[in-house]
Amino acid sequence: MKQLFTYIGLLLFAVSCSSIGVARKSNKKGKVESFASTSAKAYDRLITSEAVTNNGLFDVHKIGDKYYFEIPDSLFKREMLVVTRFIKTPSGAGNYGGEKISENTITFERGPSNNIFLRISTLVSAASEDDAISKAVNNSNITPILEAFPIKATNEDRQSHVIEVTDFINSENPLLALSSDQKDDYKLTSLEKDKSYIKEINSFPVNTEIKTVKTYKAKSGSNKRKELPAAILAGVVTLEINNSFILLPKEPMRKRLYDARVGYFASSYLEYGDDQQQVDRNTYIHRWRLEPKPEDSLKWKRGELVEPKKPIVYYIDPATPKKWRPFLIQGINDWQVAFEQAGFKNAIIGKPWPENDKSMSLEDSRFSVLRYFASPSKNAYGPNIVDPRSGEILESHIGWYHNLMSLLHSWYMIQAGAVDERARKMEYDTELMGNLIRFVASHEVGHTLGLRHNMGASSATPVEKLRDAEFLRKNGHTSSIMDYARFNYVAQPEDSIPTEDLMPRIGDYDKWAIQWGYSRFADDLSLKEEKELLSQMVVDSVSANPRLWFGGEGRNFDPRSQTEDLGDDAMQASMYGILNLQRIAPYLKKWTQEKSSDDYANLDQIYKDLVGQYSDYIFHVSKNIGGIYVTPKTMGEEGEVYRPVEKQKQKQALVFLSNYIFKEPKWLLRNDILNAIQSPQSKESVTKTMESVMMNLLGGSRLSRMTFIAERYEDEDPYHPQEYMDDLNQLVWGDMNVFYQTNAYRRKLQKSYVSNLITLYKPDEAEGLVEGILAKLSEGYTANTDVRSLALDNLINLQSKIKRTIPVMTDRLTIAHLNYLKREIESVVGETKDVDPLFIPFRRDYSIQETKEK
């Protein structure tokens, strides 16, 4: 810039030099001064003593009602993270102050025509600059220019440039405001610029924080119930939003490569290289940057516990009720013991928010905060914000909803009420509720440390050990707090389990997972060498202690990995759980009464929760049928990744369902409750569970999976789908004889069986919205398989059995029921000619009877 000649200054003048802060001034010789000189003067004229300046990542200058960023050359092409959060939201929005709106990586760079460009970065693929293929990668990864800012002035001494950002911040753009999808969710249209403004901008050494008020015009529709109250009253909706510009480290943190056998969140990109024969996917975990202090490096190398240079600190929102703050802090600090296994002491600390420190803001990206929401929602969540280049966790805002306590209360009353007297009332004392809050805080903090759910953790505990006080004192009822293993519902009153051992706590898996993710290794170790070392660590550790197994998120067909379950045997654990439900059901009216003037709203809610818990137990069992154990392994390990659930266990599961859901659970259908509660649908909830189970058992996905397993493991006596369907048929219809008389529940069971069998045979015959959707989903699984043939075969045989049985029936309602089903089947398969029963093979599987006896 310093070498530009006079004619360039004239050209700049021709394109309106005043708009870019260049002044035209002649010297004595009649020549125009250099651009450097005029630019410096433009800076002095723009950034005067009247400017209010805030120094930091960007020096922010406020002049009147306009805002300017001064960007040094050193920040060009430096990657920054822009995190946008709500500060305040309108009533009924379902979002709360502190919740994230968006997250983007950006860069600033010099552009032509004296502009500075803002680009949105995306990390999809990369290559080493030393490889020729890096040119091809660069050619196919151009990033979009979101905005071009004219340079208003240049500070030559500081090598920085001034741009005005007022209009950009106040505009409707995807970086700093709501996206089009988010506006649709709120039913909003355009930004009302005259009702939107910048509230304040503060700059700090590594971040700049922008607070704005944005008002949007609201859509008007016929369905007022789905519109925000503000939209109905005023036709507009106002939000307060915070934008954090965070400078990412110049040198990204060292990555830790992902391993599917350890439960970490991860990021990835495609990696290209000249020596490849196929593209690699570089996948790396999310974790905080924990390093020993320089003065402690020798201690760390000797294996001594050291404090990290920068500990992980979580602040508690000052909006949090004071009585719960100590328990939330305890839940955070509970993770200290896990980090000690990785070599760090006091690595994570919970603190109250310093309310008198005006230099701190809850939305400031330098601080991790547990935000407390005044919300009727029953939830909590633990996100993390990461450097996309390395997986380094930079900060987290945990979301905590006030009404979560209602959910914790219901869980504890239903799951622990049989063994803990403190659970038998509607309002818990501070100590009990505080400890329930503490366990959830530990779980959510685990997510913010990078850990995923480990739904298989509880399966590492034998069911009988869940009744062993000594075992529970040492190990807890699950090996991981990252499981959905709420409370020990297996423990029976006679077991005398201490109440503190009914709750989850940081377990051996949690400590080991932190050790795996956060232990440091020699700096000269390559990533590939480190990956091999960590892989061997998994093999050695899990083989020595199966409680360290990571069971995944529970989204596959593995019955070991389920939400809300306990133990290594779902049938046994569910049996104990139902025994406890049977114990507490008679007392629900007493336990839910607070005052004599109360209505039955408490009883209504707790009864729904009781039925929901019972339903969980039933479905925990059903997942064993057609189940597949999934155990990720490397090629250097012994054993198979996929194994079917043992045939005998599947049969036991089917018998359990026959005993606990095919037969009416009268203990659950208590008239003293059902005649008092206000929700009519509660009376049908048990029937709905039974119908859901039958739909599940006769689903096309399950039967096609069983067909595949039978073909793959033919030499191992698998549970063939025809044998399974015969067993199911026997349990539903085996008692139909001359003395046969049904009740209403049994008739609904058999109707559900027939309608689902028809759907299995002809998916297009499915009735009802849910049934139709499920039929469409399973249609592809069963096309051109034996599943539809088996469904037809069972329908034809059932039709014949019904026709032979009706003439000897005496109960009128049973006859009407069977005639109805006969017609339903005929409408699909037609009327079949009766075959002499002497020539029909008598199909009874004695193994199912033997299983019953066992």
Residues contacting residue 85 through CB under 8 Å, at least 6 positions apart: 97, 98, 99, 100, 101, 241, 242, 244, 363, 397
Residues contacting residue 805 through CB under 8 Å, at least 6 positions apart: 736, 737, 738, 740, 818
- Looking at residue 8, what is its pLDDT? 32
- Looking at residue 764, what is its pLDDT? 76
Looking at per-residue confidence, does 281 or 109 come out higher?
109
Looking at per-residue confidence, does 790 or 781 come out higher?
790
Query: How many angstroms separate the most distant Cα atoms in the chain?
Result: 124
Looking at per-residue confidence, does 716 or 140 come out higher?
716
State the CATH number of the domain containing residue 341.
Answer: 3.40.390
Q: Which residue has the tokens 């709360």?
A: 96
Q: Which residue has the tokens 């294996």?
A: 303
Q: What is the mean pLDDT of residues 563-570?
A: 97
Question: Does residue 389 sit within a domain?
Answer: yes
Question: Does residue 477 sit within a domain?
Answer: yes
* Joined tokens for residue 826: 């005929």
Q: For 429-465, what is each residue's pLDDT tens digit?
A: 999 999 999 999 999 999 999 999 999 999 999 999 9
- Looking at residue 186, what is its pLDDT? 85
Q: What is the mean pLDDT of residues 475-495?
A: 97
Q: What is the mean pLDDT of residues 1-13?
A: 35
Confidence of residue 734 (pLDDT cuts 50, 70, 90): confident
Residue 792 C-alpha from the chain's centroid: 41
Range name among 177-181, 465-469, 721-725 with the lowest pLDDT average: 177-181
- Looking at residue 21, what is its pLDDT? 32
Alpha-carbon span 691 to 684, nearest angstrom: 11
Residues contacting residue 146 through CB under 8 Å, at least 6 positions apart: 106, 118, 119, 120, 173, 174, 175
Asked if residue 399 and residue 302 are part of one domain, the reply reads yes
- Looking at residue 838, what is its pLDDT? 40
Asked if residue 684 and residue 706 are part of one domain, the reply reads yes
pTM, rounded to two decimals:
0.88
- Looking at residue 775, what is its pLDDT? 53
Q: Which of 521, 547, 573 is the last residue of a domain?
A: 547
Q: For 323-361, what is each residue's pLDDT tens digit?
A: 999 999 999 999 999 999 999 999 999 999 998 888 888
Helices (H), 289-403: 297-301, 325-333, 336-340
Alpha-carbon span 400 to 533, nearest angstrom: 38
Looking at per-residue confidence, does 765 or 719 come out higher?
719
Confidence of residue 30 (pLDDT cuts 50, 70, 90): very low
Question: Does residue 560 sit within a domain?
Answer: no
Dihedral sign of CA atoms 688, 694, 696, 698 in order: negative
Asked if residue 832 and residue 794 are part of one domain, the reply reads yes
- Looking at residue 373, what is its pLDDT? 94
Asked if residue 126 and residue 216 are part of one domain, the reply reads yes
Residue 85 has pLDDT above 70, yes or no: yes
Looking at per-residue confidence, does 773 or 3 come out higher?
773
Residue 234 has pLDDT above 90, yes or no: no
* Joined tokens for residue 192: 């009302």
Residues contacting residue 522 through CB under 8 Å, at least 6 positions apart: none
Question: Closest Cα partner for 264 from 400, 448, 507?
Answer: 448
- Looking at residue 539, what is its pLDDT? 95
Residue 150 C-alpha from the chain's centroid: 42
- Structural contact between residues 286 and 391, judged by C-beta atoms closer than 8 angstroms: yes
- Looking at residue 523, what is its pLDDT? 82
Name the phi and psi angles at 726, rounded to 5: -65, -40
Containing structural domain, residue 13: 1-46
* Joined tokens for residue 762: 């002809």
Q: For 737-773, what is each residue's pLDDT tens digit?
A: 767 788 999 999 999 999 999 999 988 766 654 555 5
Domains in the chain, number: 4
| Region of residue 222 (phi > 0: left; psi between -120 and 50: alpha; otherwise: beta) | alpha
Alpha-carbon span 322 to 4, nearest angstrom: 65
Asked if residue 351 and residue 224 are part of one domain, the reply reads no
Question: Does residue 288 sit within a domain?
Answer: no
Question: Does residue 283 sit within a domain?
Answer: no
Asked if residue 305 and residue 195 are part of one domain, the reply reads no
H helix count then E strand count, the chain: 27, 24
Mean pLDDT, all residues of the chain: 88
- Looking at residue 682, what is its pLDDT? 63
Looking at per-residue confidence, does 366 or 767 come out higher?
366
Q: What is the mean pLDDT of residues 163-183?
A: 92
Residue 740 C-alpha from the chain's centroid: 49
Asked if residue 423 and residue 301 are part of one domain, the reply reads yes
Confidence of residue 11 (pLDDT cuts 50, 70, 90): very low
- Looking at residue 236, what is its pLDDT? 92
Confidence of residue 9 (pLDDT cuts 50, 70, 90): very low
Asked if residue 157 and residue 13 are part of one domain, the reply reads no
Range name among 30-39, 68-77, 206-215, 588-597 with the lowest pLDDT average: 30-39
Asked if residue 117 and residue 25 are part of one domain, the reply reads no
- Looking at residue 16, what is its pLDDT? 35
Confidence of residue 280 (pLDDT cuts 50, 70, 90): confident
Q: For 380-409, what is each residue's pLDDT tens digit?
A: 999 999 999 999 999 999 999 999 999 999
Asked if residue 114 and residue 35 are part of one domain, the reply reads no
Alpha-carbon span 559 to 566, nearest angstrom: 11
- Looking at residue 777, what is its pLDDT? 56
Alpha-carbon span 561 to 485, nearest angstrom: 11
Residue 22 has pLDDT above 50, yes or no: no
Q: Which of 215, 247, 279 is the last residue of a domain?
A: 247
Asked if residue 73 and residue 17 are part of one domain, the reply reads no
Question: Does residue 626 sit within a domain?
Answer: no
Question: Does residue 112 sit within a domain?
Answer: yes
- For a pLDDT cut of 70, what percent of the chain falls above it? 89
Question: Does residue 257 sit within a domain?
Answer: no
What angle do the packed helices 786-805 and 812-829 form, to 10 degrees?
A: 140
Alpha-carbon span 685 to 765, nearest angstrom: 25
- For a pLDDT cut of 90, what percent of the chain falls above it? 71
Asked if residue 227 and residue 319 are part of one domain, the reply reads no
Alpha-carbon span 368 to 350, nearest angstrom: 10
What angle do the packed helices 744-761 and 769-782 form, to 10 degrees?
A: 40
Confidence of residue 839 (pLDDT cuts 50, 70, 90): very low
Range name among 114-128, 521-535, 817-831 with the lowest pLDDT average: 114-128
Q: For 36-46, what is each residue's pLDDT tens digit?
A: 455 557 899 99
